[in-house]
Every structure is written in structure tokens, then in C-alpha cells.
Amino acid sequence: NYEEREKAEKGLKDSGRLAMPLLKEALKNGDPEVVIRAERLLLAQNESIDASSAVLPVPKEDKKEEGKDTKNADKKDAEKDKDTDKKDGDVAETKAAEDES
């Protein structure tokens, strides 16, 4: 029950660094609640947690998607540059026409 789990967690917390081996082993448990409680206690002791045992998925960078986003951003930047160049050209043409008259 919940009270027993809370009491057990408090006991492990009070054990401090002596509980570290047990908590690290608990990270491999199939019960997400056990893993979450172990993670919380390890983090409270400034212990690192192996991402492969984390209950919540650790985001991975998708290089393909990242590259795709970069290409789209580069394409948009290039389009903006073309628009700017065109405007700059129009201004230069207008100025040249004014100078001729």
C-alpha cells in the first residue's frame, strides 16, 4: 500500500549513501513506481542515473529531422536574401535614374 511505500522510501532516504547500491539495482525494476522512487532518491544524493534505465524516455536528437529543419531554415533565409537583394537592386536603379536626370 501507499503508506508502506512512502515509509520504505523515507527509510532509504535516511540511509543516505548506504542505500545507493540498492537504489541503483531498483532502476532495473519492471515497476515504474519503484524506478521513479529510486531515481528521485539517487538524484537527491547527487547520484547520476543511467539514461537507459530511466522510466521517462530521454529525448534523442534525430539528425535527419534536424537536418531537414536546417534545410528549410536555410531555404527560407535564401528566399529572404533574394528579396533583400531585389529591393537593394530596385533602390540602386532608382537612384541611378535620379542621378541621370
Q: In this predicted model, what pLDDT tens digit does every residue of 26-80 receive, in sequence order? A: 999 999 999 999 999 999 888 777 666 555 544 555 555 445 555 555 666 666 6
Cβ of 15: how many Cβ atoms within 10 Å? 13
Is the model's pLDDT at 4 over the cut of 80? yes
SS3 of the chain: the string is: CHHHHHHHHHHHHHHHHHHHHHHHHHCCCCCHHHHHHHHHHHHHCCCCCCHHHCCCCCCCCCHHHHHHHHHHHHHHHHHHHHHHHHHHHHHHHHHHHHHHC
pLDDT of residue 84: 60
pLDDT of residue 70: 53
The pTM is what?
0.48
Q: Which residue has the higher pLDDT, 96 or 19?
A: 19
pLDDT of residue 97: 64
Mean pLDDT (whole number) for 12-18 = 92
Q: Please say whether the beta carbons of 45 and 13 come within 8 A.
A: no
